[in-house]
Amino acid sequence: MDFVDSREVLGSWLEGPKAAAEHMGADFGYRGERLGRPKEGSGSIAGPGRRIGALFVDGWIANLISYGLLAHGDVAKANLYGIAVFFAVNAVLLATAGTTFGKRLFGLRVIRLDGGRASIPQMLLRTFLLCLVVPAAIWDRDTRGLHDKAVATVEVRI
C-alpha cells in the first residue's frame, strides 16, 4: 500500500459511508427524490438547519408563555409548563394551519406524504414524539425524523 492509497482510504473514512458509496458509483439522488418531492423551492424537503431553527423559535415562545403567564416567574414551574405549552401550541397550530410560528418564520410546513393536510391525530402523535426528543434526533437520508415517519408526514419548504 503506497502513500496515495492510504490517503484515499483515510479520506473515505473521514467523509463517511455515503461519500464512499458515491465514490464507488452509487447514486443516492437528492433529498426527497424517493418521496417525489422537488429538488429545490416550494415543496422541497426542508433542510436540518431550518427545522432546528424553527424548533428553537417554537421552544422559546412556549417557554416565554409559560414563564410569564403560567409560572409567574418561577423557573422550576416554567420548565414543566413549557413542555405542556409547547405540546399544546404545536399540536393545535399544526393540525389547523400546518405550520407553527417558528416554521412560518423559516418558511416551513408539515404535510402528509401525498401532499394533503395532516389530520389532528397525526399531529398529536407527531408532536408527542417530538417532545420525546429521541425520535426527532434519528433521521433517514431524506432528513425525515422518526416522528415524521411514524405518522407519514414530511416537513417541506413553503
- Reported as a single tens digit per residue, the pLDDT across 15-36 is 666 666 667 766 667 888 888 8
Q: Is 139 exposed, middle or buried (0-12, 13-18, 19+ CB in 10 A)?
A: middle
Domain segments of the chain as ranges: 1-30, 34-157
d(CA 5, CA 69): 63
pLDDT of residue 32: 83
Alpha helices, H only, 16-133: 17-23, 48-65, 75-96, 101-105, 120-131
What's the pTM?
A: 0.79
pLDDT of residue 85: 94
Residue 149: which H helix or E strand, with range? Answer: helix 146-150
pLDDT of residue 134: 86
pLDDT of residue 72: 80
Q: Is 43 exposed, middle or buried (0-12, 13-18, 19+ CB in 10 A)?
A: middle
pLDDT of residue 17: 66
pLDDT of residue 13: 58
Q: pLDDT tens digit string along 70-83?
A: 888 787 788 888 89
- Which regions in the chain score pLDDT beneath 70? 1-22, 25-28
d(CA 47, CA 40): 11
The grid cell for 43 is: 415543496
